[in-house]
Amino acid sequence: MKIIDELNKDAEKNASQIRTFIEDRVKDFKKKGIVVGVSGGIDSAVILALAVQAVGKENVYGLILPEEESAASSKELGARLCESMDVSYEEVPITPILQALDTYGKKDQIIKRTCPEYDPNIHKTSLVLPSLLENDMLTIPSIRLVKDDEVVAKNRLKAKDYLELIGIQNVKQRSRMMIQYLYAEKNNYLVCGTTNKTEYLLGQFVKYGDGGVDIEPLSDCYKTQVYALANFLGIDKEIIERPPSADTWSSFTSDEDFFWRMPIHVMDQLLYSQEHDLPMEIIEKNTELSEEKINKVKRGIDKIKSASKYITSAPPICYLDK
């Protein structure tokens, strides 16, 4: 059995089911169309294409929501995608919102505590975690300073500073979602999420940010399956080949460096094997990892799932005795 083959099959069938899901939800909720936050990444590209096929290009609206630290390629690819599908779109920079909240200033203060040599005028920054393939227990995050495309410093963050940094970064996603709802409610549209199954299982989204949406068409598709959908749909190769990233740091930070902490094809095979309770020998053969390493990585994945349970769960309700 090849796990990758299992993940890559049925792209046409999956596309059809997702199109039907989008069309049915628009009808069920009595909405006129779909709003999509277009990031220049593969998930939003697949959603945009399927939404157009489901409800028609005239009923889909794209929002490109860059900020000061976004990669220039993000909005360029997003605009090109919308234009290629003849979808109406608008660019709404969120930088003024972040500046009003002193997001960048607060972020700089934390980084300077960790890296005294940090100069925002010459350094770009990124946040990384140790690879799960090397150590399942060590989860101490580090700030990297980058100058002229070279890492010039890498310092570990204190727990308090890390939590504050995450809170500051998450304001970006929550600001974007606020704008998406402004446009959706104005037009009586649904806000369509782009979180895939790999991200959902690991809590790799911001609560009431990119996770605060009306529908999630991709949340039963592993990231590997999203790539298969993109190829089936004929998505721009530059978008498909672009390394996945949340795009919230001034220096490019791959999801494989921070969220997944391993190559995505390995992560998806391990998550799939957990879902289907596959025998160890099949997992070893597919991932080319030893039993010892597989067990270590699985412990790391379980820790991530446990820590993000509050993100993936709906708010608990206190039910009163009647």
Give the pLDDT score at 138.
58
Backbone φ and ψ for 128, nearest 5 degrees, come out as -135, 160
Cβ(136)–Cβ(63) below 8 Å? no
How are beta strands 142-147 and 150-156 bridged, if at all? antiparallel
> What are the start and end residues of each CATH 3.40.50.620 domain in the chain?
3-96+169-250
What's the rounded Cα separation, in Å, for the pair 302 and 275? 12
Residues in the chain, pLDDT under 70: 135-138
Radius of gyration for the chain, computed over Cα atoms and rounded to the nearest angstrom: 20
pLDDT tens figures, 240-298: 999 888 888 888 777 877 777 888 999 999 999 999 999 999 999 999 999 999 998 99
CATH class of the region 3-96+169-250: alpha beta
Cβ(118)–Cβ(111) below 8 Å? yes
pTM reported for the whole predicted model: 0.93
pLDDT tens figures, 30-53: 999 999 999 999 999 999 999 999
Give the pLDDT score at 135.
64
* Amino acid, single-letter form, for residue 229: L
* Amino acid, single-letter form, for residue 80: R
What's the rounded Cα separation, in Å, for the pair 261 and 267? 9
What's the rounded Cα separation, in Å, for the pair 12 and 209? 30
Give the pLDDT score at 137.
54
